[in-house]
A and B are shown apart, each in its own frame.
Chain A
C-alpha cells in the first residue's frame, strides 16, 4: 500500500515538472501524539508546485493537524516537513516566519477578526508586512473583494453582519490578498448550502489558478473534493493510505477510499459507536 502512495505522489510530481522536481511540500514520517492519542503516525505526502491536493479522512483522522504541522501552528513529534526542499522543522523562528509569509490559509469557520471591519481583515497581512498603507488598504481590499464576487461596500461591514457564505468569501479574500505561493483550505464548504459550496469551490479554483499557487484542501465534501483537487489523498489512522486523481474518487478500486467517498455504511471503516 505504501508503494501505491509513493507511486501516486511521485506521479503527481511528474505531471508538474518531472520526477526530479523538488515538491513544493514534502512530508516524511510525520508523527504527532496528543497524550496517549497518536493522531499522525508517519504521514508521507508530496505536493508538486502549482498542484491542488485534497486530503480526505474521517472526523478526528488528523487532517487539520497535518496542515497545522505544515503551517507551524503545531510542532510534530517526529518527521520531516519540507517546503521548497527546506525542512521547516529545523528552521529558526525568523526563517519560519519568512516561510509563513508566503502561505495563505482559509480556516474552517473563517476565523475573521470580529473586532475589525471587513476591509481591515482582508488587508491584515498586507498591513502587517507594511506592503500597503492604511490609507490605501481600503481600495486594495475592494479590489480583492471583487475577485471573490463581493462589492467594495462590504468592506465597511463587520464580520458579524455577514452571512456564512459571505464570511467564507471574505476569508478567501484574506487568504489570497497577499498573493501567497501556498494556500491551505480547511473544509471550505462546511456549513454552506450546495450552491454556495459550488460557488466557493469555483472561486477557490479561479484564485489558485490566477495566483499559480500550490493548494492543499481538507474536506469531507466529495463534490467539493472533485471540483477543487487535481489529486486526492486519504488519511486514515494517522497515515496516508491512498493517493490518486481526485476525479477517480468513488471508483478508485481501494475499498476504504470508495467506502468513504460513497458514504457507505458497510466496509473496512467501522464507526466506533456506543450501543
Chain B
C-alpha cells in the first residue's frame, strides 16, 4: 500500500532532480561558453562561418515567412476590421504586430528549425565520432572552438535577420493593402510610420538577440552532450529544435512583460 503512494512520489522526485540537473548543466555550459568570449584565442574564422550560416543562408526562409505573414495579416485584419469600419487601422496593426511579435518569433522559430538542428547534428556527430575529444588532444578547447563562436554569431545575426523580416513583413502588408484592398500607397505608408515607435522595433530586436542566443545554446548543448551513435544524434537534434522553439515562445512572453507591462 505504501509502495503505491511512494513509488509515484519517488518517480516524481527523480524526474524533478533530473530536470534540475539538466537546467543546471545548461546554465553552467552557457556561463563557460560566455566566459570564452572574453578570453583569447578567438576563432574569428569560425565566428564568420557561423555568422554566414545563420544570417545569410537563413535569409530566404525568413524573408518568405515575413512577406507572407505581412500579406496574411493585412488580409485577415481587413476582413475582421471591416465589421467595425476600422480598416484604417490595418497598416498600424501590421507594422506593430510584425515588429513587436511576429518578426522575432517567426524568424526565431524558422532559424531554430534550420540552425538549431544544424548545430546539434554537426556537434553531435563530432561528439560520437571522437572529434571533440580529438580537439582537446590537439591543444584546442572545444567550448572556445565550437560553442563560443556559434553563440556570438547567432546572437548578432538574428537581430539583423529580424530587421530584414520587419521591412519585408511591412512590405507584404503594403502589397496587399495597395494592390488588393484599395489603399493609397502614401496613405498606407503614412499610417504605418505614424503609429510606429522606436520601442516597437528595439523590443523586437532585443527579443531576436535573446532568441538567437537560445537557439545556438540549445543546439550546441544538445550536440555537445550527444551520445548513442546516429540514433542519439537524431534524438538530440529533435530535442534541440523542440527545446529552443518552446523556450522562444516562453521567453517571448517574459520579454513582452518586461517591455510592455504597465
Residues of A within 8 A of B (CB): 68, 71-73, 97, 100-101, 103-105, 107-109, 111-115, 124-125, 128-129, 174, 178
B131 contacts A105, C-beta separation under 8 Å = no
Q: Is B137 an interface residue (CB 8 A)?
A: yes
User: Smallest distance from the beta carbon of B208 to chain A beta carbons, Å?
Assistant: 27
How many residue-residue contacts, CB under 8 A, span A and B?
A: 45
**Which residues in A have their C-beta under 8 angstroms from that of B136?**
71-73, 100
**Which residues in B have their C-beta under 8 angstroms from that of A129?**
139
- Which residue of the partner chain, among A71, A108, A114, contacts B137 with CB atoms under 8 Å? A71
A103 contacts B131, C-beta separation under 8 Å = no
Q: Is B199 an interface residue (CB 8 A)?
A: no
16 contacts between A and B (CB under 8 A): A68-B133, A71-B133, A73-B133, A97-B139, A100-B136, A100-B137, A105-B137, A107-B133, A107-B134, A109-B129, A111-B129, A124-B140, A125-B139, A125-B140, A128-B138, A178-B139
Q: Is B130 an interface residue (CB 8 A)?
A: yes
What residue of chain A has the Cβ atom nearest to residue B131's Cβ? A111
B137 contacts A104, C-beta separation under 8 Å = yes
- Which residue of the partner chain, among B122, B130, B138, contacts A109 with CB atoms under 8 Å? B130
Query: Whole-angstrom distance between the alpha carbons of A72 and B133 in the complex?
Result: 10
Which residues in window 161-220 of B have CB below 8 A to A?
none
A105 contacts B139, C-beta separation under 8 Å = no
Which residues in window 96-143 of B have CB below 8 A to A?
122, 126, 129-131, 133-134, 136-140
User: Smallest distance from the beta carbon of B233 to chain A beta carbons, Å?
Assistant: 14
**Which residues in B have their C-beta under 8 angstroms from that of A112?**
131
What residue of chain B has the Cβ atom nearest to residue A97's Cβ? B139
A113 contacts B139, C-beta separation under 8 Å = no
What residue of chain A has the Cβ atom nearest to residue B46's Cβ? A115
What residue of chain A has the Cβ atom nearest to residue B137's Cβ? A105
Query: Whole-angstrom distance between the alpha carbons of A66 and B140 in the complex?
Result: 21
User: Smallest distance from the beta carbon of B131 to chain A beta carbons, Å?
Assistant: 5
Query: Whole-angstrom distance between the alpha carbons of A105 and B132 in the complex?
Result: 13
User: Smallest distance from the beta carbon of B49 to chain A beta carbons, Å?
Assistant: 9
Query: Whole-angstrom distance between the alpha carbons of A174 and B139 in the complex?
Result: 12
**Which residues in A have their C-beta under 8 angstroms from that of B122?**
115
Query: Whole-angstrom distance between the alpha carbons of A124 and B142 in the complex?
Result: 13
**Which residues in A have their C-beta under 8 angstroms from that of B133?**
68, 71, 73, 107, 111
A105 contacts B134, C-beta separation under 8 Å = yes
**Which residues in B have their C-beta under 8 angstroms from that of A113?**
126, 131, 134
Query: Whole-angstrom distance between the alpha carbons of A125 and B130 in the complex?
Result: 16
Query: Whole-angstrom distance between the alpha carbons of A71 and B122 in the complex?
Result: 24
**Which residues in B have their C-beta under 8 angstroms from that of A68?**
133
Query: Whole-angstrom distance between the alpha carbons of A100 and B140 in the complex?
Result: 10
Query: Whole-angstrom distance between the alpha carbons of A236 and B148 in the complex?
Result: 41
**Which residues in A have their C-beta under 8 angstroms from that of B130?**
107-109, 111
- Which residue of the partner chain, among A72, A115, A125, contacts B138 with CB atoms under 8 Å? A125
Query: Whole-angstrom distance between the alpha carbons of A125 and B139 in the complex?
Result: 6
**Which residues in B have their C-beta under 8 angstroms from that of A101?**
139
Considering residues B130, B131, B134, B137, which has the most beta carbons from chain A within 10 angstroms of its beta carbon?
B137
User: Smallest distance from the beta carbon of B119 to chain A beta carbons, Å?
Assistant: 13
What residue of chain A has the Cβ atom nearest to residue B138's Cβ? A125
What residue of chain B has the Cβ atom nearest to residue A180's Cβ? B137
Query: Whole-angstrom distance between the alpha carbons of A111 and B133 in the complex?
Result: 9
Considering residues A101, A114, A128, which has the most beta carbons from chain B within 10 angstroms of its beta carbon?
A128
User: Smallest distance from the beta carbon of B101 to chain A beta carbons, Å?
Assistant: 36
- With contacts A109-B129, A111-B129 known, is A128 near B140, CB below 8 A? yes
What residue of chain A has the Cβ atom nearest to residue B43's Cβ? A128
Query: Whole-angstrom distance between the alpha carbons of A71 and B163 in the complex?
Result: 47
What residue of chain B has the Cβ atom nearest to residue A107's Cβ? B130
Query: Whole-angstrom distance between the alpha carbons of A258 and B8 in the complex?
Result: 51
Query: Whole-angstrom distance between the alpha carbons of A103 and B122 in the complex?
Result: 26
**Which residues in B have their C-beta under 8 angstroms from that of A107?**
130, 133-134
User: Smallest distance from the beta carbon of A174 to chain B beta carbons, Å?
Assistant: 8
Query: Whole-angstrom distance between the alpha carbons of A103 and B133 in the complex?
Result: 13
Considering residues B126, B131, B139, which has the most beta carbons from chain A within 10 angstroms of its beta carbon?
B139
B138 contacts A124, C-beta separation under 8 Å = yes
User: Smallest distance from the beta carbon of A122 to chain B beta carbons, Å?
Assistant: 11
B139 contacts A100, C-beta separation under 8 Å = yes
Considering residues A71, A111, A125, which has the most beta carbons from chain B within 10 angstroms of its beta carbon?
A111
**Which residues in A have their C-beta under 8 angstroms from that of B138?**
124-125, 128, 174
User: Smallest distance from the beta carbon of A225 to chain B beta carbons, Å?
Assistant: 22
**Which residues in B have their C-beta under 8 angstroms from that of A174?**
138
B134 contacts A128, C-beta separation under 8 Å = no
**Which residues in B have their C-beta under 8 angstroms from that of A100?**
136-137, 139
**Which residues in A have their C-beta under 8 angstroms from that of B137?**
71, 73, 100, 103-105
A111 contacts B134, C-beta separation under 8 Å = yes
